[in-house]
């Protein structure tokens, strides 16, 4: 992994999607994600991506795992920004949600040369399999920027 000095991303440390039953779908905001770009290079474009692990409970295994195919994400629109350049959400609306079976684009800055920042409040949707057993499921959503 390469380190880009002057470019960072901050995310909420945790988020809870609440409780659900097998066969239901949970949908909640993950909180605010922010990219800060203090680089002075021209142009200073960037790409933020998102990925997930599986969600597991009590050791995983049959009925205790929710696969990435059941996890959808959409970034939503810009909630706050400053500085120049064009900033584009990966998925502006729920209709554009993507499964996190592979890393996906969360947000990009496609043009501009000023220091900048942008924030968004992505939503995660998890379809609970009908065969899921009761328990607290945990997984990791990872945002990165380069």
pLDDT of 76 reads 98
Cα separation, 49 vs 120, whole angstroms: 13
pLDDT of 43 reads 85
Q: How far is CA 27 from CA 11, 17, 115, 120, 122, in A?
A: 18, 7, 33, 16, 10
Q: Give the model confidence (pLDDT) of 104-140 as tens digits.
A: 999 999 999 889 999 999 999 999 999 999 999 999 9
Q: How many helices (H) and strands (E) does the chain have?
A: 0, 14
Cα separation, 131 vs 67, whole angstroms: 12
Q: Give the model confidence (pLDDT) of 40-70 as tens digits.
A: 888 899 999 999 999 999 887 888 999 999 9
pLDDT of 1 reads 54
Q: Is the pLDDT of residue 2 over 70?
A: no
Mean pLDDT of the chain: 94
Partnered with residue 35 across adjacent β-strands are 9, 118
Q: Where are the domains of the chain?
A: 7-145
Q: Give the model confidence (pLDDT) of 22-47 as tens digits.
A: 999 999 999 999 999 999 888 899 99
């Amino acid at each position: 992994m390469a380190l880009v000095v002057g470019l960072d991303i901050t995310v909420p440390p945790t988020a809870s999607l609440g409780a659900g039953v097998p066969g239901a779908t949970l949908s909640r905001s993950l909180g605010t994600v922010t990219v800060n770009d203090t680089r002075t290079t021209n142009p200073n474009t960037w790409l933020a991506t998102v990925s997930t692990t599986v969600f597991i409970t009590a050791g995983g295994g049959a009925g205790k795992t929710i696969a990435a195919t059941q996890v959808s994400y959409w970034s939503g629109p810009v909630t706050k920004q400053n500085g120049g350049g064009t900033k584009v959400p990966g998925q502006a609306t729920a209709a554009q949600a993507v499964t996190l079976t592979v890393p996906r684009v969360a947000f990009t800055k496609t043009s501009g040369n000023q220091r900048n920042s942008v924030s968004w409040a992505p939503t995660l949707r998890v379809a609970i399999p009908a065969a899921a057993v009761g328990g607290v499921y945990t997984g990791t959503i990872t945002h990165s920027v380069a």
